Amino acid sequence: MNTGSSFRLPIRLTLCRLACLLIVYTSQQQALAQEAPIPFILTRYTTENGLPQNSIKGLAFDQLGYCWIGTENGLVKYDGIRFRLYDNFDIPPTSSRVSYIMQNKQKQILISFEGQEFYTIRNFPGFGTRPVRVKGDYNVSDFPGFQPIRGESDRSFFAPLISKQAPASSYILNDHQYYLVKADSLWIAHKNRPATCIIDKRLGKYPTTVIGDQLILMLNNHKAILYSNPNGRARLLMAKGLFFDQIATAGSPYTLMCSASGTYSFCQGKLYRLTLQDKTIYARLIAEGLADFTPNKLYYDEAFNTYYLQSHIDGLLLIRPNRFQSIHIPNGSWHQNSFYGQNTYGKDQIIANGALFTFSKGTKFPRIQRLISFPYSSASAYVQQDSYYYEKDFSLYKLNLVSRKTSQVAHLDEYIHCFNWSTYDSTLYFSTSDKLYALIQDKPVSALVLPPRKNQYIYGFRFWNADSVLIASNLGLLGASLRTGKTKFLLPNSNVRTIYIDKERYVWAGTYNSGVYLLQSGMVKALPIDVNKRLSVINSILEDHQGRIWFSTNNGLLSTARRSILNFFEGTGDIEPYTIYTKSDGLITNEFNGGAYPDKAYLSDGRVSLPTLKGLAVFNPDSFPDDHSPKPIFIDQVRVDGKLIKDLTHIRLAPDYQALTVSVSTPWKKKGESLIFERLVIGHDRQWISFSYGESISIRDYGHGDYSMRIRIKGYPQSQIEFPFSIAPYFYQTIWFKLALALAILLAVFVTFSYTITYYQRKTITLDQKIKERTQELNESLDHLHLTVERLQVVEARLQASLLQKDRIINMLLHDMKSPLFALKKGIEELDDRLSGQLGLSDVIASKSQLLRAGINDVYSFSINFFEWIKYQQEGFSANYQLTSLSDVFGRINELYGSIARSKGLTLVIPATEVVFYTDENILITILRNLVDNAIKHTQSGTIQLSVEATEKDYLVITVADTGPGMDELILANIQAAFNEELVLSDHAGYGYKLILHLVNLIHGDLELGNTGGLQVGIMLNFSFGQDG
């Protein structure tokens, strides 16, 4: 749309277009005007907002930064936050009403109370500055200064001058020069020469003052008289400025005020500073709009460029420079003046809300021109060279700032959220809800597509490098690659409004309601939010050249030392207190706007423009005083149970104390809400405890001992102070009481021990007598016992002989029975073999012969087992371990039962093995012989098989399995249970299995029985058992 000054309405336009363009035409023809600036901020203190009394009799700042104010109610100490009526003097004055407070060029302060009592401000270690009474007399002048009158020489110099006539005013310019102005004369005195008297009828009629260390008589006709030093010759001076115009034409009343910083005048609500240059006095306007204030004195704080105007009736007025400039569109709606994004165009031009703001040197406010007909704050726009790109009705438009012609670039069917310029590829990018576009030759090209997410909104994006981009969204902070299209949440679940990347590549993410997050090298840390939650909503982040970082929020503008935040991020320190700027500091509103890119614009002189709800806030962050130096802490009062303590070198509390209270203060130039103290009591506290400004420290219920209290300002560790105190113990807690108690206990123990020894000595005598009696009785019993033992030994010998004879008979019988049984067995086997070989033998005889053979085998087997059992019973069941070859054992079994098995039509399978291990070979053969014999007995046909297997746990398993009918499950379970319980009863099994179970236990084996197509009996033996002999 063309909005240039040479615009002509084409006759052929339709009525609709004509109406629209007429609105545009009438809104942009002339540059919009802007009202006059407000260069200073006025802050007034009276009894309504903390000042104890409105009659001010003087004001001075001491060397520590405290402000001392004299009032008719007393002396007031002001630390920058709170006024406190000071009543803690060394010697209370006769009257608490202050006559005046004076400070000379050496920064010494003199306080005079009614009754000619003088006090001066002195520094006390730990307590800071306090007033102290001084003796003597002083000569005080209207020009800020005073001189003590010491000795007769000083008294003889001043007394004659004062005694002749009451002076109208006096001035001490240095140590040796003194002006005394009377009704019609001027006295100029020097220490080393006679006084000079000048007679001038104008003296006393017109006011006198000192300008540039020269005595000046002010006239009302743009002229003044200078009295030169030392002869007092009068010279005529010219006077220029609005102040002199007022007193010359209107005869307006005025006040002259001398201070260490210069001479000032006040007339008709305006404050001027007077300077002398080349025989001319100039009056420069400092502040106006002070018609309701009547000052009589002035103090100037050069470090903060602040004027302190004092009045006898109107209290105290602070005049501070307003370093903020508020820019808004005159007569614009609130919507038009609610700014979000803005762009820099040219050297000193800003485009925002469809308007061009041109800042010129020498002017306080810019020239404003409308560029488009619909300025509104939510529009996304960007300026690149002479092209102004903006979004309207889901389309991208371009306005040529030279020709003022508008053209549509593209229709996207999407709302454009923000723009940004990439310095890596010199390309303009813009974003929608889920896409990033690159504008190449005025054609949108998709550069990145974000994964679709519900209610996603992109506030802005910053380029990390040529390929990577950081995206601020209402769902979090994302990192994305333009090359691969991949995205990753760096800070999820946070409504990120702004991104700032500093020179050290730290990423500062400002959020809505979650404060600031700092990111670097994969580490993320949230900055603490202040007590009043000003830092909860962050709109813009910027740095200045003094090492500070600034945050614009929904509740003011805050700054602090950037290095302190990095120390907090690295875990090496705390964040220094924030400096807070609000409407009271010159801002048009506390609520800044954010969520648009670019969010700030810079001018060539270092000023920066930030968007607010009511206009643009323009300021130079480097023009603000750097007030981040460590602040000293001083102790106002220390009281123990209400009693004031004046000496901090050693505070000792009684054991029954109620409370130790400590109040501290510090000269503070920031807002009180940013001041937070911390305290730590060494010997009691484990961590620092915070307490607010004005809150006293209360120590209660501490045990006795030595302590040391440390106090500091949070964020200023260098401000730490420390003083020791101790709590006396109760008498029963002292070392002497404990020693006495220990001695008493030792004495009681000694007495008890002595009594116990005496008692037991008596008991011992009695016991000795009883022991002798008992011993005699025991000896008699022992004699009887010996006789009984001898008799039992005789009986035992006879029994042993009888048992030996029995064993011999049993062995003889066993040996005599074994041989006939073996011969009978062999004879019956041979008879059976011969009968079975004869032809024609009847079946009855053959079956009887086989039955006889089987019977004798059973009898012989039972006899052998029984003989073995008797043998082991006699030998005490002791196993004889030796290295045993399992092949030899299997060979013996084959010799014994191979032919028997074949005669019954059975197959005895014995495997070849090379296993050698330690065991009792005879016991093992007995166990296997019994098992094989039992298997042959109960197996009618089939196979009897021996097998061997080694397990993983050094165990050898020898299994005897047959294909016979097996064993009843109940009997099998009883035998297994009996073996597991190592208890074989008569109802568990027959005699053969009792023998097997005993023998298996004897060689430390295990037995497993099972029925699977016959009976399987497994013997588990340990390989290594018995190797140690």
CATH superfamily, with its number, for domain 41-219+290-321: YVTN repeat-like/Quinoprotein amine dehydrogenase (2.130.10.10)
Q: CA-to-CA distance for 330 and 26, rounded, in angstroms?
A: 15
Of 574 and 3, more confident? 574
Mean pLDDT of all residues in 405-410: 92
Tokens of 724: 């020791």
Q: Are 100 and 637 in contact (CB under 8 A)?
A: no
Of 327 and 902, more confident? 327
Q: CA-to-CA distance for 494 and 462, rounded, in angstroms?
A: 17
Question: CATH code for 877-1022?
Answer: 3.30.565.10
Return phi, psi of residue 227, to 5°.
Answer: -100, 110
Q: Is a pLDDT exceeding 60 seen at residue 590?
A: yes
Tokens of 700: 């209660």
Of the given ranges (60-69, 797-806, 893-902), which has the lowest mean pLDDT?
797-806
- 113 CA to centre of own chain: 52
Among candidate residues 554, 582, 551, the one with its CA nearest the CA of residue 41: 582
Give pLDDT, residue 69: 95
Mean pLDDT of all residues in 416-443: 92
Tokens of 122: 């002195």
721 Cβ neighbours under 8 A, 6+ residues apart:
126, 632, 633, 634, 635, 710, 711, 712
Q: Is a pLDDT exceeding 60 seen at residue 34?
A: no
Of 514 and 868, more confident? 514
Q: Are 257 and 246 in contact (CB under 8 A)?
A: no
Q: CA-to-CA distance for 70 and 95, rounded, in angstroms?
A: 13
Which parts of 577-654 are beta strand (E)? 579-581, 601-602, 608-612, 615-619, 634-640, 643-644, 651-653
Give pLDDT, residue 453: 86
Give pLDDT, residue 1: 36
Report which listed range, 730-744, 963-977, 997-1011, is most confident: 730-744
Mean pLDDT of all residues in 12-19: 34
Is residue 27 very low, low, confident or very high in pLDDT (cuts 50, 70, 90)?
Answer: very low
Give the largest Cα separation in the chain, rounded: 191
- 733 CA to centre of own chain: 40
pLDDT averaged over every residue in the chain: 84
The b-or-e profile of 1011-1025 (16+ CB within 10 A means b, else e) is: eeebbbbbbbbbbeb
Mean pLDDT of all residues in 909-933: 86
Return phi, psi of residue 762, to 5°.
Answer: -65, -45
Q: Are 852 and 833 in contact (CB under 8 A)?
A: no
Of the given ranges (327-336, 967-976, 995-1004), which has the lowest mean pLDDT?
967-976
Q: Is a pLDDT exceeding 50 seen at residue 533?
A: yes
Burial class (CB in 10 A: 0-12, 13-18, 19+), 506: middle
Is residue 10 very low, low, confident or very high in pLDDT (cuts 50, 70, 90)?
Answer: very low
Give the pLDDT confidence of 265-310 residue by residue, as tens digits. 999 999 999 999 989 999 999 999 898 999 999 999 888 889 999 9
Of 125 and 292, more confident? 292
Mean pLDDT of all residues in 539-548: 95
Tokens of 111: 């306080």
Cross-strand partners of 960:
946, 1017
Q: Are 690 and 676 in contact (CB under 8 A)?
A: yes
Give pLDDT, residue 733: 82
Is residue 927 very low, low, confident or very high in pLDDT (cuts 50, 70, 90)?
Answer: confident
Give pLDDT, residue 157: 66
Give the pLDDT confidence of 202-254 residue by residue, as tens digits. 888 889 999 988 889 999 899 999 988 767 788 999 999 999 999 988 888 99
Cross-strand partners of 727:
653, 705
Q: CA-to-CA distance for 1014 and 1008, rounded, in angstroms?
A: 14
What are the distances in angstroms from CA 144 to CA 75, 170, 171?
Answer: 19, 10, 8
Q: What angle do CA 840, 845, 849 make, to 5 degrees?
A: 120
What are the distances in angstroms from CA 785 to CA 190, 793, 910?
Answer: 136, 12, 63
Is residue 940 very low, low, confident or very high in pLDDT (cuts 50, 70, 90)?
Answer: confident
Q: Is a pLDDT exceeding 90 seen at residue 457?
A: no
Q: CA-to-CA distance for 345 and 597, rounded, in angstroms?
A: 15
Of the given ranges (32-41, 748-757, 991-1000), which has the lowest mean pLDDT?
32-41
Give pLDDT, residue 87: 64
Mean pLDDT of all residues in 345-357: 89
Is residue 16 very low, low, confident or very high in pLDDT (cuts 50, 70, 90)?
Answer: very low
Q: Are 435 and 448 in contact (CB under 8 A)?
A: yes
Cis peptide before 230 (omega within 30 of 0): yes
516 Cβ neighbours under 8 A, 6+ residues apart:
508, 509, 510, 526, 527, 535, 538, 541, 551
Q: Are 73 and 52 in contact (CB under 8 A)?
A: yes
Give the pLDDT confidence of 594-638 residue by residue, as tens digits. 888 888 999 998 999 999 999 999 999 999 987 767 778 988 889
Q: Are 70 and 86 in contact (CB under 8 A)?
A: no
Scanning the structure block, which residue is given the tokens 């009897």?
944
Among candidate residues 756, 722, 735, 714, the one with its CA nearest the CA of residue 649: 722
Q: CA-to-CA distance for 298 and 971, rounded, in angstroms?
A: 122
Burial class (CB in 10 A: 0-12, 13-18, 19+), 395: middle
Mean pLDDT of all residues in 493-500: 95
Q: Are 1014 and 942 in contact (CB under 8 A)?
A: yes
Q: Are 152 and 174 in contact (CB under 8 A)?
A: no
Please determine, looking at this structure, whether the domain spanning 634-732 carries the CATH number 2.60.40.10: yes
Cis peptide before 621 (omega within 30 of 0): no
Mean pLDDT of all residues in 106-132: 87
Question: CATH code for 325-623?
Answer: 2.130.10.10
What are the distances in angstroms from CA 6 to CA 25, 374, 403, 659, 991?
Answer: 11, 20, 10, 83, 135
